[in-house]
A and B are shown apart, each in its own frame.
Chain A
Amino acid sequence: MSGVPLSWYLILSAVLFALGVAGFLLRRNVITVFMSIELMLNAVNLSFITFSYQWKQVNGHIFSFFVMVVAAAEAAVGLAIILTVFKNRSTLNIDDISSMKN
Chain B
Amino acid sequence: MDVILFLIFAAIAVICGFNVVVQSHPISSAISLIGVMGSLAVLYLLLGAEFLAAAQVIVYAGAIMVLFVFVIMLLNAGAEIRHGRSLIAQVLGIPLLFAFLGLMLYFVQHMFPGAAEVRFGGFKHGTALDVGRALFTQYLLPFEVVSVLILIAILGAVVLAQKEME
Using CB atoms and an 8 Å cutoff, list the residues of chain A in contact with chain B.
1-12, 14-16, 18-23, 25-29, 31-32, 34-36, 38-39, 42, 45-46, 49-50, 52-54, 56-59, 61-62, 64-66, 68-77, 79-84, 86, 92-93, 95
Q: How far is the CA of A16 from the CA of B37 in the complex (A)?
A: 11
Number of A-B contacts (CB under 8 A): 246
Which residue numbers of B lie inside 8 Å of A, CB to CB? 1-3, 6, 10, 13-14, 17-18, 20-21, 26, 29-30, 33, 36-37, 40, 43-44, 46-49, 51-52, 55-56, 59-60, 63-64, 67-68, 71-72, 74-75, 77, 80-83, 85-86, 89-90, 93-94, 97, 100-101, 104-105, 108-109, 112, 115-119, 122-123, 125-126, 130-131, 134-135, 139, 142, 146, 149-150, 152-154, 156-158, 160-161
* CB-contact partner of A22 in B44, B72, B97, B119, under 8 A: B97
- Residues in A with CB closer than 8 Å to B48 are 53
**In the complex, which residue of chain B has the Cβ closest to the Cβ of A8?**
B6
